[in-house]
């Protein structure tokens, strides 16, 4: 059967919740993926900010294989060595004190929101606490995560959401301040908005929100699911400004392909929120997932992944700026580190489709923005290669 025939078969069986691009990806090596016809693609998506290490990393693969041969799953009612080691490394990397492993980003958000509500409940016994989230934010597709996602289009068909969520504007401290009252238990935001359009929180805003939280004993939840794990040139994006959250969520690159996430918290929140029986998951933090986390954190250090981000990201940024200046249809470059976006004055789907036809994987963030979230091991040569293909995919008449 041809790739096209397999795609037709897929469309018979899979629920149509994605407008998929018309290729079947089969294997990967370094920063390249290959489809079932053997065609090679330079990958500037990395499974949406997941595969930081590049494909086919020998040490990572061997660590997973070794763990598979030992044991894949036990239960959270017992301890397992990979989870013990992974949790310690994650504490060291984040400076936060306690870890709960989940299976996905959305589940990490669910846990973070539950922890915040329980913290407030333990203080005053009330059951009508409020959470402030940001417009244009994205926190996932489960009900709790969707409820704090600032995109009405994603929420509306599934109303009612969980109650008492208020939306403020990212980087507008006054809009946050206005929503705070005695019921506010948490403020949640992405340190750098991803899906919402590659918008970093400004230092002033982040510090301002933190100050408001400290003043009123409100918990600051930072969603580092996309922007964390080295992508901005810091292990976690908030570390650039030293604004430490009370609760942090991580996922995506945490397991580099093995489904795993986590929420972490300070000892103070841990001592005053979730207790035995309050929260759980069958798979979360199982030996296979945690073997991945452990190895990823080791390899980040051994291979100086963050140093590479700091070296190549300014180059990507500069080349995207230059591209923007040459095309009328590109109105803005946004983002930070290896989390960049080009804002077009029109939908970008056709550009992305042409890029795929020319051997380059790109992804959008909303209809009008092309997002660049490559593996963190990308080189300057890869960036040059990407731009050459991308430029050939933007219509020549769109130049000034
Ligand atoms: C992807 C993402 C999520 C959801 O993670 P899933 O693993 O898809 O559930 C939450 N927050 C942010 C910022 C994300 O980018």
* Average pLDDT per block of 10 residues along the chain, 400 residues long: 94 95 97 98 98 96 98 97 98 98 98 98 98 98 98 96 98 98 98 97 98 98 98 98 98 98 98 97 98 98 98 98 97 98 97 98 97 98 98 75
61 with 381: CB under 8 angstroms? no
Distance from C-alpha of 276 to C-alpha of 191, rounded to nearest angstrom? 30
| pLDDT of 292 | 98
227 with 340: CB under 8 angstroms? no
Task: From 226, 248, 284, 335, give the residue whose CB has the most ligand 1 atoms within 8 Å, as the site to mutate.
Answer: 226
| pLDDT of 243 | 98
- Say if residue 316 is preceded by a cis peptide, omega within 30 of 0: no
Taking Cα atoms as reference points, which of 94, 40, 105, 59 lies closest to residue 260? 105
| pLDDT of 399 | 55
Task: From 140, 147, 236, 253, give the residue whose CB has the most ligand 1 atoms within 8 Å, as the site to mutate.
Answer: 140
CB atoms within 10 A of CB 61: 12
193 C-alpha vs ligand 1 centroid, how far in Å?
11
CA 351 to chain centre: 23
The domain locations on the chain are 3-53+304-398, 59-302
Position in ligand 1 atom list of the atom nearest CA 190: 13
Ligand 1: does its nearest atom lie under 6 Å from the Cβ of 144? no
Model confidence pLDDT, tens digit, residues 47-66: 999 999 999 999 999 999 99
CATH code, residues 3-53+304-398: 3.90.1150.10
Task: From 134, 224, 252, 335, give the residue whose CB has the most ligand 1 atoms within 8 Å, as the site to mutate.
Answer: 252
Written as one string, the DSSP assignment of 340-369 is: EEEEESS--HHHHHHHHHTTEE-EESSTTE
Distance from C-alpha of 380 to C-alpha of 6, rounded to nearest angstrom? 36
Domain 59-302 listed as CATH 3.40.50.300: no
| pLDDT of 10 | 95
| pLDDT of 397 | 58
Burial of residue 400 (CB within 10 Å: 0-12, 13-18, 19+) is exposed
Bridge partners for 43 per DSSP: 361
- Per DSSP, 398 falls in state G
Q: 38 phi and psi, to 5 degrees?
A: 85, 5
Written as one string, the DSSP assignment of 204-273 is: HHHHHHHHHHHHHTPEEEEE-TTTTTTTTSSSSGGGGTT---SEEEE-GGGTTTS--EEEEE-HHHHHTS
261 C-alpha vs ligand 1 centroid, how far in Å?
9
Model confidence pLDDT, tens digit, residues 215-241: 999 999 999 999 999 999 999 999 999
Ligand 1: does its nearest atom lie under 6 Å from the Cβ of 250? no
Q: Which helix (H) or strand (E) holds 11?
A: helix 3-13
Ligand 1: does its nearest atom lie under 6 Å from the Cβ of 263? no
Distance from C-alpha of 91 to C-alpha of 76, rounded to nearest angstrom? 19
| pLDDT of 395 | 80
| pLDDT of 398 | 58
User: What is the edge-to-edge ordering of all strands in the sheet holding 339-344?
Assistant: 330-336, 339-344, 369-372, 363-364
* Residues in the chain, overall count: 400
Written as one string, the DSSP assignment of 181-209 is: -TTEEEEEEESEESTTTSEEPPHHHHHHH
Distance from C-alpha of 186 to C-alpha of 134, rounded to nearest angstrom? 12
Distance from C-alpha of 73 to C-alpha of 81, rounded to nearest angstrom? 12
110 with 142: CB under 8 angstroms? yes
Taking Cα atoms as reference points, which of 86, 105, 179 lies closest to residue 135? 179
9 C-alpha vs ligand 1 centroid, how far in Å?
28
Give the C-alpha distances (Å, rounded to integers) separating 256 from 55, 70, 243, 292, 297. 9, 20, 26, 7, 10
Distance from C-alpha of 330 to C-alpha of 58, rounded to nearest angstrom? 39
């Amino acid at each position: 059967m041809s790739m096209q025939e397999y795609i037709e078969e897929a469309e018979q069986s899979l629920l149509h919740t994605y407008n998929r691009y018309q290729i079947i990806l089969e294997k990967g090596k370094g920063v390249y993926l290959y489809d079932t016809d053997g065609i090679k693609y330079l990958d500037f998506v990395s499974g949406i900010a997941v595969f930081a290490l590049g494909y086919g990393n020998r040490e990572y693969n061997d660590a997973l294989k070794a763990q598979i041969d030992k044991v894949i799953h036990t239960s959270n009612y017992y301890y397992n060595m990979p989870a013990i080691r992974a949790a310690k490394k994650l504490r060291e990397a984040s400076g936060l004190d306690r870890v709960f492993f989940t299976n996905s980003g959305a589940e990490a958000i669910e846990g973070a929101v539950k922890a915040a509500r329980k913290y407030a409940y333990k203080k005053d016994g009330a059951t009508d606490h409020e959470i402030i989230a940001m417009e244009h934010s994205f926190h996932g597709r489960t009900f709790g995560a969707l409820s704090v996602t600032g995109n009405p289009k994603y929420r509306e068909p599934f109303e009612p959401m969980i109650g008492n969520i208020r939306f403020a504007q990212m980087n507008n401290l006054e809009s946050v301040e206005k929503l705070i009252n005695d019921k506010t238990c948490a403020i949640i935001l992405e340190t750098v908005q991803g899906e919402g359009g590659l918008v970093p929180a400004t230092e002033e805003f982040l510090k301002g929100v933190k100050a408001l939280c400290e003043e009123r004993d409100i918990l600051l939840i930072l969603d580092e699911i996309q922007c964390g794990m080295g992508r901005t040139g810091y292990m976690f994006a908030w570390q650039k400004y030293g604004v430490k959250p009370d609760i942090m969520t991580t996922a995506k690159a945490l397991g580099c392909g093995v489904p795993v996430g986590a929420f972490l918290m300070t000892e103070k929140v841990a001592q005053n929120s979730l207790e035995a029986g309050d929260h759980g998951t069958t798979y979360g933090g199982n030996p296979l997932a945690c073997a991945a986390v452990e190895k990823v954190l080791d390899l980040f250090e051994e291979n100086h992944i963050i140093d590479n981000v700091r070296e190549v990201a300014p180059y990507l940024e500069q080349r995207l700026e230059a591209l923007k200046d040459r095309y009328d249809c590109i109105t803005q470059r946004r983002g930070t580190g290896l989390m960049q976006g080009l804002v077009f004055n029109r939908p970008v789907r056709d550009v992305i489709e042409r890029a795929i036809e020319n051997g380059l994987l790109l992804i959008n963030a909303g209809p009008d923005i092309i997002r660049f979230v490559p593996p963190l091991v990308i080189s300057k040569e890869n960036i040059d290669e990407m731009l050459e293909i991308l430029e050939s995919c933007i219509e020549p008449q769109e130049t000034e």
